[in-house]
Amino acid sequence: MIEITIDQKKVKAEEGQTVLQAALNAGIYIPYLCHHPEFVEVKGLSSIERVYQGGEAKDGEGGVPFEGCMLCLVEIEGQSGLLKSCEIKAEEGMQVRTDTEKVRETRQENIAKILEQHPHACLVCAQADGCDQKICSLGIPENERCCSKYGICELQKVAEFIGIEKGLPPYVPSSDPIVDEDSLFKRAYDLCIGCLRCVRVCREIRGADALAFTVRDGRVVVGSNQPSLKESGCKYCGVCVEVCPTGALLDGDVRSGKRKKSSLRLKIKPPILPPEQHLALTEGNLENVPEGEGIYILFDEAKEIYKISGVENIREALLEEMDAGSPAAFFNYEEDPMFTGKERQLTQQYMKKHGEMPPGNSELDDLF
């Protein structure tokens, strides 16, 4: 083990770990979109000259190295410029700063470039709170507002953490197709931000290598490497859907917040999201909560923790809380198949700090 300092906090890191991995393991959040906890190390990706989107050939420039999302930038004492923490290996005595003015400004510039490729009107709208996203009072066309994962979108959470600059240009819908050629996947290529998580997880975790990318007019364009998924060697496991940070890849027959998952789905780690946010406990917000395994936390009016619970169906449990007249005013949640262990961990952390269970967790059985 080695020791580095991140934002004046001493952090232990394993030999060969990146600064990003060391920070996340220590509970220090650094934003990212192209990285994922399943990826052990950065592996160089280069474009090819042709990919296919629903059988439609997309020709572009081959041999272009993928630069990444450029959101995990940090400053390191003794080294010039901003560096990608997903690439830099931690070294003994290294001094890392993740929240300097230069880092913040550059991250905002880079997230703005990413948002230009994705509907974002709802993300910057001053009337977003309480809006049902069905009728826009500003008259913005539906395909420019937000995607179907609004409220549970990882891109949205990362963008809100970084901060979205004022004056972001309107989203210009792309001509990339929406492909629903089978009952398992829906591929909305017009919502793709080019993070290449799907390409990497297919290649590095699934071993299928069915997806690739090309570069057209400086923009990353993702698709299959042959006209159809079957010809490309797709295993139809859906792991690409699991890692997508937007609504570009969805399970078949998807409804808002509800997924029909493939029985072949691999179990993978969830992404590490920005520090907790407090969502108002309203029916409107619950519509966007997934019906899946995970943990939810309820907060009172003062945003103090009221209850911690791991459940098999997050949305259903939260609706039951509302129906039962829960005194909670806010909530947040995290999808996690190991929800019982997560609940125990968070509850024990609460007890260590407060000396008692959260008010809404009345039974000691919650610990075991």
pLDDT at 367 over 50: no
Return the minimum-mean-pLDDT range out of 117-131, 137-151, 273-287, 297-311: 117-131
Residue 168 DSSP one-character state: P
Domains of the chain by residue range:
279-367
Q: Which two tokens stand for residue 295?
A: 């943990």
What does the pLDDT read at residue 71?
98
Non-local CB neighbours of 338 within 8 Å, separated by 6+ positions: none
CB count within 10 Å of CB 38 equals 18
pLDDT at 11 over 70: yes
What does the pLDDT read at residue 258?
42
Rounded mean pLDDT, 51-62:
96
What does the pLDDT read at residue 41?
74
What does the pLDDT read at residue 297?
95
Distance (Å, whole) CA 267 – CA 242:
9
Q: What is the CATH number of domain 279-367?
A: 3.40.1440.10
What does the pLDDT read at residue 63?
97
Distance (Å, whole) CA 208 – CA 205:
8
Beta bridge partners of 334: 295
pLDDT at 137 over 90: no
Contact 174, 185 (CB under 8 A): no
Residue 262 pLDDT class (50, 70, 90 cuts) = low
Rounded mean pLDDT, 317-330:
93
- The pLDDT tens digits for 205-236 are 999 999 999 999 999 999 999 999 999 999 98
CB count within 10 Å of CB 341 equals 12
DSSP H or E run through 96? strand 95-97
Mean pLDDT of the chain: 88
Distance (Å, whole) CA 288 – CA 134:
13
pLDDT at 183 over 80: no
